[in-house]
Chain A
Amino acid sequence: MSIYVDYAATTPVDKEILKSMLDNADKFGNPSSIHRIGKEGKAFYEKSRKNAAELIEAKPDEIVFTGSATEANNMVIRGIVSYYERPHIITTSVEHASVKETYQAMEDYADVTYLDVNEHGQISIEDLQDALSERTKLVSIIMVNNETGTIQPMEEIRKAVSESNALLHVDAVQAFRQLKISTKSLGCDFLTLSGHKLHAPKGIGLLFIKQNTHLNRIMTGGSQEKERRAGTENTLYAHAMSLAMTQAEEKREENTKVLKALKEKLISELQTQEVPFEINGSTAFQTNHIVNLYFPWTTSEYLLTAMDMAGIYASGGSACNAGTVVPSHVIQAMYSEDRARRSIRFSFSKELTEDDMTFIAEKLKSIYTKLKDQGFI
């Protein structure tokens, strides 16, 4: 038996999407070519762009396909910081590494504020308001946290940022399958998405740039994407991205129902089995596809290995190059380093069943009991 509960890390490519990619593989033309084959490629590509734009209530011109969400986040942050003379930029202490580390890299060229979070993993609007100044050019917010599923108070964030001159950058990578995403209601200037979190292949991301927004480009060498990203367009993967977005949109409601049941099942089973644990953050402010649990009786490094040996594939923190676990900065920001070293993320997809959750709880129970019997707890 093997159970993959790491869908927030990546998802398998959907069979229908894969089939459609193969069916359309003959539309190989370079969209920049003048000839008919190129024009066919261009039309194919623009169809994907139009569909993706509609799904997030944007104009096609506002969509740039990228190689990844990491690239898209880099484009925004580096593009804004280099456009202005030492701007002030604001983000949170619980961002994905692609935002967090890019902000850190910008510290030489910009004044950077990292907003703290409370135990639920949410920022305080007062903090944001206090941090915003005339010099603030960018606010980057992870809408749904990739480690805890915590949803930030986007409406209040929108209001606060709209009262300033700053641009709002929303990392919606984990949000899209769970919540309706509208660039209009989010009031954002930038929004980033990733294909492989939506059952499209790895290697495709999306960046929404609101019309008339100025930023420098980081990739040069061609006039593609209205000179916002040089490089031959990845037509086939953009197609996959567009299909994945449609799928996610259509199945969101049904998906939510299943994921909610899974999350509740795992929690209740662990309670029934009397495995000591606590939920990181509050489920009231979280999506259903992630639950991050604190197991005070062991370390995530041990538990991830023990679960892997039992056929359960979860995550906790990130892996260093030597394969050891680096504790999550998100759990650290919410609680403590010790708690971060003892926390595991389970993330779900509707392929999973409630029996799978029972199996996981039983395995955790047996691991817990064995450690107790051996005198390690």
Chain B
Amino acid sequence: MTNKDTTVVVGMSGGVDSSVTAKLLLDQGYNVVGIFMKNWDDTDEFGVCTATEDYEDVRLVAEEIGIPYYSVNFEKEYHDRVFQYFLDEYKKGRTPNPDVMCNKEIKFKAFLDHAMKLGADYVATGHYARVTHDGENVEMLRGVDNNKDQTYFLNQLTKEQLSRVLFPLGHLEKPEVRELAHKYDLATKDKKDSTGICFIGERDFKTFLSTYLPANPGRMINMETGEDKGAHDGLMYYTIGQRQGLGIGGDGGPYFVAGKNLETNELYVVQGDNHEALLSTSLLASEVNFINPMPETFECTAKFRYRQKDVPVTVKVTGDDQLEISYDSASAVTPGQAVVLYDGDRVIGGATIDTVLRNNEVLEYLA
């Protein structure tokens, strides 16, 4: 099959990355169709909806490069499969990763299905990751731009999904993508990158969350001394290892969130960098996804959060959809976040962190 006979549906967000993605594929001779996904109705009190502005940019770029463009509404799917999960995790005191879920359920499921229904051979996005297709063999590799690599968020993609995916930006550095956008004079060439979780946007996270979940203020306790350090605004607002926004300080260095007790509604804090209370040596994870089959036990490296340096780990498959991952020592490993496994540049897969242990002892308030 030549590129000319290959239809690629590009998920266009109205940002510079997906704009360049579409243009690169077009130049490679593919039959390119741009589709904008509307996942969230974010019309603010002034009637401004960023989706409208973003779609306008999709239109401009599509007209500039000469591809058909469409729009698809996944507000319901997003609400049911991503936003509900996001709220549920916070209710459990965990720190969810909606971007991982959005990739798994929306961009590479609902959207992929939509594209396949429209006769696409592949979908492409502007993610910084690489995917290789060699017959039956499918691999995902880190994007070459270390700073932008997005494989952490793509860890739940299965081999089947990846076999239908192209990431044309994976071999580029972000500045090169900007340069290309300028070279092609795309309407989005100087558009600011979006930051944060898509449905929260530039809004204050606390205010946003409080409109969906009742905030339940409680006490903040020094885990070591038992000392009451004042009030907290609600456990859901804090994540393990968090330093900012506690409103406490004093001699002995900054305070960090070290745990939550959902029963007593207490927030545990500790003082000082790299505090022992935050350290763990292993974790249990579920929602396991291996892109290719793996042995029962293996060694590799792992990321416990986005942009963290890789940590050498030993992985043991302990049951159906259950991993035990051990390592020397890591700080602030957080339930609800993803653990992503790598073999060099190759992504092995990922899972969701459920339980964190130190020397085989469950750190029960690390939730």
A: residues with CB less than 8 A from B are 301-302, 305-306, 308-309, 320-325, 370-371, 374, 376
* A305: B residues at CB distance < 8 A: 35, 70, 72, 118
Q: B117, A302: Cβ atoms under 8 Å?
A: yes
Let me know if B122 is at the binding interface, CB within 8 A: no
Contact assessment for A376 and B113 in the assembled complex, using a CB-CB cutoff below 8 Å: yes
- Judge whether B316 is part of the interface by a CB distance below 8 angstroms: no
26 contacts between A and B (CB under 8 A): A301-B73, A302-B72, A302-B114, A302-B117, A305-B70, A305-B72, A305-B118, A306-B117, A306-B119, A308-B70, A309-B119, A320-B38, A321-B49, A321-B51, A322-B51, A323-B36, A323-B38, A323-B55, A323-B58, A323-B59, A323-B70, A324-B38, A324-B72, A325-B73, A370-B119, A376-B113
8 shortest A-B CB distances, which residue pairs? A323-B71, A324-B73, A321-B52, A322-B51, A322-B55, A322-B38, A305-B70, A324-B71
Given contacts A322-B51, A322-B55, A324-B38, contact A309 B117 (CB under 8 A): no
- B68 at the A interface (CB under 8 A): yes
Contact with A along B227-269 (1 / 0, CB 8 A): 0000000000000000000000000000000000000000000
Complex Cα spacing A305 to B38, Å:
15
Docked-complex contact A306 and B118, CB < 8 angstroms: yes
A316 shortest CB reach to chain B, Å? 13
Q: Are A376 and B71 in contact (CB under 8 A)?
A: no
Contact residue among B59, B68, B73 (Cβ-Cβ distance under 8 Å from A308): B68
CB neighbours of A370 from chain B (8 A)? 117, 119
Contacts of B113 in A (CB 8 A): 376
Contact B71–A322 (Cβ < 8 Å)? yes
Taking CB atoms, residues of chain B closer than 8 Å to A325 are 73
Using A308-B68, A308-B70, A376-B113 as known contacts, say yes or no to A322 and B118 having CB atoms under 8 A apart: no
A301 touches B72 (CB 8 A): yes
- Chain A residues whose C-beta falls within 8 Å of the C-beta of B119 in the assembled complex: 306, 309, 370
- Min CB distance A371 to B, Å, is 6
Contact digits for B108-128, partner A, Cβ 8 Å, 1 yes 0 no: 000001101111000000000
Which residues from B are CB-within-8-Å of A309? 33, 68, 118-119
Q: Is B117 a contact of A376 with CB atoms below 8 Å?
A: yes
Per the bound structure, the CA–CA distance linking A296 and B118 in Å amounts to: 18
Considering the complex, give the chain B residue whose CB is closest to the CB of A367. B117
Question: Are A321 and B117 in touch, CB under 8 angstroms?
Answer: no
- Which chain B residues in 180-200 approach chain A with CB under 8 Å? none
- Closest B residue to A324 by beta carbon equals B73
Complex Cα distance, B72 from A305, in Å, reads: 9
Chain B contacts for A308, CB-based, 8 A? 68, 70
A325 to B73, CA, bound (A): 8
Report A-chain residues with C-beta under 8 Å of the C-beta of B59: 323
Bound-state CA distance A301–B38 (Å) is 12
Cβ-closest chain B residue relative to A298? B117
Q: How far is the CA of A302 from the CA of B77 in the complex (A)?
A: 15
Per-position 1/0 for B50-85, Cβ under 8 A of A: 011011001100000000111111000000000000
Contact between chains at A374 and B117 (CB < 8 Å):
yes
Type the 1/0 row for B24-53, where 1 means its CB is closer than 8 Å to any CB of A.
000000000101101000000000010110
Expressed in whole angstroms, the minimum distance between the Cβ of A318 and any Cβ of chain B is 13
A371 to chain B: closest residue by CB? B117
Report A-chain residues with C-beta under 8 Å of the C-beta of B71: 322-324
Q: Name B43's closest neighbour in chain A (CB-CB).
A: A321
Q: Please, how many angstroms separate the alpha-carbon atoms of A323 and B68 in the complex?
A: 13
Among residues of B, the one whose C-beta sits closest to the C-beta of A326 is B73
**Cα(A320)–Cα(B69), bound, Å:** 15
Task: Name the B residues within 8 Å of A306 (CB-CB).
Answer: 117-119
CB neighbours of A322 from chain B (8 A): 36, 38, 49, 51-52, 54-55, 71
Complex CA distance for A370 and B119, rounded to whole angstroms: 9
Determine the chain A residues whose CB is within 8 A of the CB of B70 once the complex forms. 305, 308, 323
15 A-B pairs besides A302-B114, A320-B38 with CB distance below 8 A are: A301-B72, A302-B72, A309-B68, A309-B118, A321-B51, A321-B55, A322-B36, A322-B38, A322-B71, A323-B38, A323-B58, A324-B71, A370-B119, A374-B117, A376-B113
Residues of A near B54 (CB, < 8 A) are 322
A324 to B49, CA, bound (A): 13
State how many angstroms separate the Cβ of B359 from the closest Cβ of chain A.
49
Task: Give B54's nearest chain A residue, CB to CB.
Answer: A322
CB distance from A363 to the nearest CB of B (A): 12
* Chain B neighbourhood of A323, CB < 8 A: 36, 38, 55, 58-59, 69-71
Cα(A65)–Cα(B83), bound, Å: 51
B291-324 contact mask (Cβ, 8 Å, vs A): 1 or 0: 0000000000000000000000000000000000
Residues on the A chain within 8 Å of B35, using CB: 305
Bound CA span A125–B62, Å: 50
Chain A residues within 8 Å of B58, by CB: 323
Inter-chain CA distance A376–B109, complex, in Å, is 12
Given contacts A309-B33, A322-B36, contact A374 B55 (CB under 8 A): no
CB-CB under 8 A from A321, the residues of chain B are: 49, 51-52, 55
Residues of B within 8 A of A371 (CB): 117
**CB neighbours of B51 from chain A (8 A):** 321-322
CB distance from B30 to the nearest CB of A (A): 15
Question: Shortest Cβ distance from A1 into chain B, in angstroms?
Answer: 16
Residue of B whose beta carbon sits closest to that of A376: B117
Complex formed: what's the CA distance from A142 to B349 in Å?
A: 59
Bound complex: CA A309 to CA B69 (Å): 10
Best-buried of A302, A322, A325 by chain B (most CB within 10 Å):
A322
CA–CA, A376 to B116, complex, Å?
Answer: 10
Q: CB-CB < 8 A to B116: which residues of A?
A: 374, 376
The residue among A309, A321, A323 with the most chain B CB atoms within 10 A of its own CB is A323
Give the CA-CA distance A306 to B33 in the complex, in Å. 12
Give bound CA distance, A302 to B70, whole Å: 10
* A320 proximity list for chain B (CB < 8 A): 38
Per the bound structure, the CA–CA distance linking A305 and B51 in Å amounts to 19
Minimum CB distance partner of A309 in chain B: B118
Q: How far is the CA of A322 from the CA of B73 in the complex (A)?
A: 9
Tell me the residues in window 87-125 of chain B with beta carbons closer than 8 Å to chain A beta carbons: 113-114, 116-119
Compute how far the CA of A87 lies from the CA of B296 in the bound complex, rounded to whole angstroms: 78
Contacts of B73 in A (CB 8 A): 301, 324-325
